[in-house]
């Protein structure tokens, strides 16, 4: 069975390939499928957007599709940027990692450490080749907005250079964390694990 991974983010694609490596399916990227279209994310929640994207690309490709939507939610800012996480600075276009990192720290100026709680929130959506919903899964990873960004960040994951995990005393960054820490904390991995039973059920149909 082929499964379309509906993301243009190479970091997400790499993680999903790793986390799904134990399932006997052929993973296909949007590039592999020759799809260059983008879909307008009009949903008011991560779940709505994840389902919208998965259904759109399934109908476009004729393949079962896995899509995600997620973002950063800062307690002191009432959950901002939320679903606007990638268009937070300039609403009419995708923002660069550097713009998002700089804007976050601009907005967080003067907010004390005990009020800097935040989380990365993710929803995965799996649809069949007709675009009908099969399953969703949801995960979050909580920490605080660090007083300054990490010295370096993984491209495509700007908020991981911002979210600090106090119990690890580390940024939520794959390169900063050990393999064991990544296994225990990666919220995308946990979301994938929740959706694997639905994928396996599709294989037996």
Name the residues annotated as catalytic: 69
Q: Are strands 2-5 and 65-74 parallel, antiparallel or unpaired?
A: parallel
Structure tokens, 44: 């008011």
CA 195 to each of CA 16, 118, 143: distance values in angstroms, whole numbers, following the listed order: 12, 25, 24
């Amino acid at each position: 069975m082929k499964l379309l991974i509906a993301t243009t983010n190479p970091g997400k694609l790499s993680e999903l390939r790793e986390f799904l490596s134990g399932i006997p399916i052929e993973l296909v990227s949007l590039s592999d499928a020759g799809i260059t279209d983008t879909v307008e994310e009009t949903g008011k929640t991560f779940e709505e957007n994840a389902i919208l994207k998965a259904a759109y690309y399934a109908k476009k490709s004729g393949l079962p599709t896995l899509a995600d939507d997620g973002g950063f939610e800062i307690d002191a800012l009432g959950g901002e940027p939320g679903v606007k996480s990638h268009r937070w600075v300039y609403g009419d276009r995708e923002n660069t990692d550097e713009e998002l990192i700089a804007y976050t720290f601009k907005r967080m100026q003067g907010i004390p450490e005990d009020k800097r709680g935040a989380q990365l929130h993710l929803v995965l959506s799996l649809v069949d080749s007709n675009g009908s919903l099969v399953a969703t899964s949801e995960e979050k990873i909580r920490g605080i907005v660090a007083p300054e960004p990490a010295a370096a960040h993984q491209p495509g994951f700007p908020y991981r250079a911002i979210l600090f995990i106090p119990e690890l005393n580390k940024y939520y960054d794959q390169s900063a964390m050990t393999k064991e820490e990544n296994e225990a904390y990666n919220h995308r991995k946990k979301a994938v694990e929740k959706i694997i039973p639905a994928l396996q059920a599709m294989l037996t149909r």
